[in-house]
């Protein structure tokens, strides 16, 4: 038992254990600190960007912490780490020259994230291809098209990209309503509807009911202004039109439409 105790307490046994345990604790603490600094709201664009940056920063820090821990353990066993570092430096220069394109991809990947080009979940257009970003690494990007096709490209090739998710679209909706309908009743129904519309994902809070847009020949046109994510504007418009029809039916508000009367020649 005494021999086991002496063996465990040897520097070459206990030091690596302490180093590895300290490394694990340090990484956990770093993750918490990085999250406190960067993350606030994962639901909006800034939150998605911060989440992406957290992964990047955490992975880089973990690499350096593990590298330092390995060097410290090697020092315990009497290995000349200075010689290793010098060799790694020379090898790094040679490898860097051989893998210039890979290094460009890595640097471009960092630039894409930090300069707000796009993040995972954004809809982008690049080289006449439009799709959703499903994977973003430091080396490459994958975007998925509407028909399921996957477009994969190296980050260094990103020169011009259109981010449709960051764009803001304004959708104006005019609602034809019969003249005989009470204006106060219609506006009350539309005000209540706007509160429901603002709950739709990707619809912004400054969307509003504008008022009477036009006194047309056969209808009064009430107007809504909807601000939403550009990539979702058509889907959102279809959803709102359905909501309008349902509200008009529930409130018994008439929406006029063209009618044709056909007579067979008999006296009216």
Domain borders along the chain are 2-98, 117-163, 168-250
**Strand 208-215 to 220-229 pairing:** antiparallel
CB-based contact 161:116 (threshold 8 Å): no
Task: Find the DSSP H helices in the chain.
Answer: 2-8, 11-38, 45-76, 81-98, 100-114, 183-197, 233-250
For the stretch 33-42, pLDDT in tens is 766 665 544 4
For the stretch 106-126, pLDDT in tens is 777 777 776 677 777 788 888
CA 80 vs CA 34, 63, 72, 74, 110: distances in Å: 33, 21, 11, 8, 34
CA–CA separation, 63 vs 56, rounded Å?
11
**85 contact partners, CB below 8 Å, separation of at least 6:** 71
Sheet (strand 208-215) strand order: 168-177, 220-229, 208-215
Q: In the predicted model, what is the mean pLDDT of residues 228-238?
A: 86
Residue 22 has pLDDT above 90, yes or no: no
**What is the pLDDT of the chain when averaged over all its residues?**
77
Q: In the predicted model, what is the mean pLDDT of residues 206-224?
A: 91
At 31 the pLDDT is 74
Q: Among the ranges 18-27, 145-154, 212-221, which has the highest mean pLDDT value?
A: 212-221
At 56 the pLDDT is 65
At 43 the pLDDT is 46
At 52 the pLDDT is 61
- CA 206, distance to chain mean position in Å, is 21
Q: In the predicted model, what is the mean pLDDT of residues 72-77?
A: 76
CB-based contact 179:220 (threshold 8 Å): yes
At 88 the pLDDT is 61
Q: In the predicted model, what is the mean pLDDT of residues 165-176?
A: 84
- Which one has a higher pLDDT value, 147 or 238? 238
CA–CA separation, 223 vs 210, rounded Å?
5
For domain 117-163, give its CATH number from 2.30.30.60, 3.50.50.60, 3.30.390.50, 2.10.109.10.
2.30.30.60
> Whole-prediction pTM value?
0.46
The per-residue DSSP string of 110-145 comes to HHHHHTTS--TT-EEEETTEEEEEEEE-SSEEEEE-
Q: Among the ranges 27-31, 60-64, 246-250, which has the highest mean pLDDT value?
A: 246-250
CATH topology of domain 2-98: Helix Hairpins (1.10.287)
Number of residues that this document lists for the chain:
268
Comparing 45-49, 118-122, 123-127, 202-206, the range with the smallest average pLDDT is 45-49
Comparing 47-61, 174-188, 204-218, the range with the smallest average pLDDT is 47-61
CA–CA separation, 22 vs 11, rounded Å?
16
Residue 242 has pLDDT above 90, yes or no: yes
CA–CA separation, 226 vs 206, rounded Å?
8
CA–CA separation, 151 vs 105, rounded Å?
16
For the domain bounded by 168-250, which CATH number is listed?
3.30.70.100
Partner residues linked to 168 by β-bridges: 229
Residue 199 has pLDDT above 80, yes or no: yes
Comparing 68-82, 89-103, 183-197, 208-222, the range with the smallest average pLDDT is 89-103
Provide the 10 A C-beta neighbour count for residue 219: 19
CA–CA separation, 190 vs 251, rounded Å?
11
Q: In the predicted model, what is the mean pLDDT of residues 228-239?
A: 86
**Strand 129-136 to 123-126 pairing:** antiparallel
Q: In the predicted model, what is the mean pLDDT of residues 11-19?
A: 72
């Amino acid at each position: 038992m005494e021999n086991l105790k002496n063996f465990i307490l040897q520097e070459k046994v206990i030091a690596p254990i302490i180093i590895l345990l300290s490394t694990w604790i340090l990484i956990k603490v770093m993750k918490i600190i990085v999250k406190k600094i960067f993350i606030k709201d994962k639901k909006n664009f800034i939150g998605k960007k911060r989440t992406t940056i957290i992964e990047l920063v955490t992975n880089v820090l973990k690499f350096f912490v593990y590298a330092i821990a390995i060097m410290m353990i090697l020092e315990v066993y009497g290995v000349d780490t200075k010689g290793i570092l010098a060799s790694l430096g020379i090898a790094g220069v040679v490898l860097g020259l051989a893998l210039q394109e890979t290094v460009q991809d890595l640097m471009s990947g960092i630039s894409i994230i930090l300069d707000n080009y796009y993040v995972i979940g954004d809809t982008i257009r690049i080289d006449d291809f439009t799709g959703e970003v499903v994977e973003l690494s430091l080396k490459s990007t994958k975007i998925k098209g509407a028909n399921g096709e996957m477009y994969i490209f190296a980050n260094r090739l990103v020169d011009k990209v259109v981010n449709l998710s960051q764009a803001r679209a304004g959708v104006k909706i005019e609602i034809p309503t019969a003249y005989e309908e009470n204006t106060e009743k219609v506006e009350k129904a539309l005000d209540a509807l706007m509160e429901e519309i603002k709950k739709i994902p990707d619809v912004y809070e400054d969307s509003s009911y504008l008022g009477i847009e036009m006194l047309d020949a056969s209808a009064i046109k009430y107007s809504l202004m909807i601000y939403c994510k550009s990539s979702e504007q058509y889907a959102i418009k279809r959803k709102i039109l359905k909501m309008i029809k349902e509200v008009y039916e529930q409130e018994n508000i008439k929406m006029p439409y063209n009618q044709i009367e056909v007579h067979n020649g008999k006296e009216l």
